Amino acid sequence: MPETTPQQPLKGMYSDWFLDYASYVILERAVPHLNDGLKPVQRRILHSLKEKDDGRFNKVANIIGHTMQYHPHGDQSIGDALVNMGQKEVVVDTQGNWGNILTGDSAAAPRYIETRLSKFANEVLFNHKTTTWAASYDGRNKEPVTLPAKFPLVLVHGAEGIAVGLACKILPHNFIELIDACIAVLKKEEFTLYPDFLQGGTADMSDYNDGLRGGRIRVRAKIERAKARHLIIREVPFGTTATSLTDSILKANEQGKVRVSKIEDCTAEFVEIHVFLPAGVDTDQTLQALYAFTDCEVSISPNSCVIQDDKPKFLGVSEILRHSAKQTRALLKQELEIKLGELEERWHFSSLEKIFIEKRIYRRIEECETWEAVIAEIWEGLRPYLSMFVREVTEDDIVRLTEIKIKRISKFDSFKADEFIRGLEDQIKETKRHLKRLTQFTIKWYESIKERYGKGRERKTEIASFDRVEAKQVVVANDTLYVNRKDGMAGYSLKRDEAVGKCSRLDDIIAFSRDGTMRVVKISDKVFIGKDNLLVHVFNKEEPKVYNMIYRDGRGGRTMVKRFQVSGVTREKLYDLTSGKAGTRVLWLSEHDTEEEANIIVRVHLKSDLGLRKLQIDYRFADIGVKGRGVKGNILTKNPVDRVSRIPKAEQEEIVSSDSPPPASVKAAPAKKTPATKKAPAKKAATKKTAAGKSPSKKAATKKSPRRK
């Protein structure tokens, strides 16, 4: 029988496949490498440009085609990555229409635009002798594992990518400031790095957090006041364009958040957006509203992530720069050591050649008939001079001497040979001196890069500190809130219904129904708020109002009283302010701005057909504290209540000034429990004044119970 392969659970197979896919996306597509700051597609593009570099411009279409032999993901990703690098104007020179980061215009087709490596890239990114190579995806070519970069390219370019369960967002920094920071690292000095954007703008970077997760910066457009009611936007925030910013202003104007009469986008080489305001609009408030409701201010959350040792790691921009500075020092040391070895090799063979020609050793091999005899004669002629060489003379050196052409021997100039050897000796001494003072040499190298390539790369984004604009403080309340209590609808378009007050389109509506429920909804032209509403107004959770409430707890239940505030709520959710029993009915509900204003006194009228001694209760809300909306409240009375009314202000003042405040509640005894022989107390109670300062009505005082009749 044929052998059967062991079965593998499907769950395990999917787990392995997912991990393989996630690792591939993270390492090969989304996150840049720490060593050179490049994603694989960027590295392969630069390698292709180097292979085709002859000082002239190449069609982008040709570069894309050449890169496809290294990158297995198609031409679209290659073209987009190349255009993105070209717009940064650091490692590639461009020719043609490469788009505009200010207007958002895209680049022309690859067959119409051209590119080549910049001088800066040739100097800091490439060295064949210090590059580690690997086979390409199809095994036909060799590509660099990472480029030997001597500059923190990821910090000047920035990087953004989304992988499986991982995201990367490194913001671009200033070219000159990065060089100064690298020098500070080598000098063991403190430094601080902040982003710098080609779009310019003003940024508050107090919460940058070194580019790590949890940090945040806010970037604002630069807006100047040209005339009264005329603003000009000169610079846009990072991640936006003149077109997207204009669209955001128009959208805010349509929503009533900003009032604008006209807007003109005149952006060409530089940003220039004219914003005209209507008459009667406050310019300062409009300026703040532009920051609050449009793309004139954006918030950016960095997330610095790089590949190190084949694993994604979250490193701050300071740590990335320190690694780059130390790597540059190590690469320069490696290049100096390679250069020193090459110089010593050239000195060795030049000295050997000089002796070979000046001492006429070549004449000793004229009569030799075999190759072994030739080699032996040269060894014999060089024997007296072997001690003067730095390294041992090898068989390969002897073979190279035999390859010297007769023409070179005949034109040999001893003086020029000595000058050439002395020049090599001077270079060897200089290289050894650089190796001995490697840190100082690296600092001078950085200063040379800054001098030659730093012109025109000054900071464009201004660093400032500004307060956060609260939307509620700058929104224009230019609408009116209307309510239709019968249908349970509210909004700013119901102009035939009852007007509640002024509102903005950012506000919320709070509505209290007679059954003791409450809801908060977002304001709109027309929205359902629930039927049978007692109270409807604009809701402001930052300044909660105080509510006084008296309600009957179910059918025939006790009458409860409560004071509460409403702060955090969920929109569209129905909240029950009572115990939720069927038949619950709100008898009194009032709103007040402060707790002091809420200290009112109301008169609770009891039903008159129960034979009660006292048919009214004067209740002072100051006797209970202000709680949350979820409290059920205190018992006001167990007797049925007919209605609740507010005591006039003058009478309230009399009650407050009284020495004996009214009781929190009055428990009236039914007449049936009063003995028939004791009429005097009842008569006395009828003539005694209440806590409110007035006698009860004659009718209520003399009324007899049904049983006594």
Residues classed as catalytic: 112
Residue pair 297/239 in contact by the 8 Å Cβ criterion: no
Burial class (CB in 10 A: 0-12, 13-18, 19+), 188: exposed
User: Which three-class secondary structure string do you get for 93-144?
Assistant: EEECCCCCCCCCCCCCCCCCCEEEECHHHHHHCCCHHHCEEEECCCCCCEEE
Packed helices 438-453 and 414-436: angle between N→C axes, nearest 10 degrees: 100
CB-based contacts of 560, cutoff 8 Å, min separation 6: 550, 551, 552, 553, 578, 632, 633, 634, 635, 636
Kindly provide the b/e burial profile for residues 659-698, where b requires at least 16 CB atoms within 10 angstroms of the residue's own CB.
eeebeebbebeebeebeeeeeeeeeeebeeeeebeeebee
Integer CA distances (angstroms), 254 to 278, 283, 462, 634, 676, in order: 14, 18, 31, 48, 78
Q: Identify whether the C-beta of residue 234 lies closer than 8 Å to the C-beta of residue 296.
A: no
Instruction: Give the CA count within 13 Å in the CB-facing half-sphere of 594.
Output: 2
Q: Crossing angle for the helix pair 40-51 and 60-67, nearest 10 degrees? A: 110
In whole angstroms, what is the distance from residue 164 CA to residue 2 CA?
Answer: 41
Torsion, Cα of 650, 653, 657, 662 (10° steps): 100
227: alpha, beta or left, given left = phi > 0 and alpha = psi -120 to 50? Answer: beta
214: left (phi over 0), alpha (psi -120 to 50) or beta: left
Q: Which two tokens stand for residue 78?
A: 């290659």
In the chain, the amino acid numbered 670 is P
CA distance 322 to 152: 9
Sequence-distant (6+) residues with CB within 8 A of 350 are: 417, 420, 421, 424
CA 395 to chain centre: 65
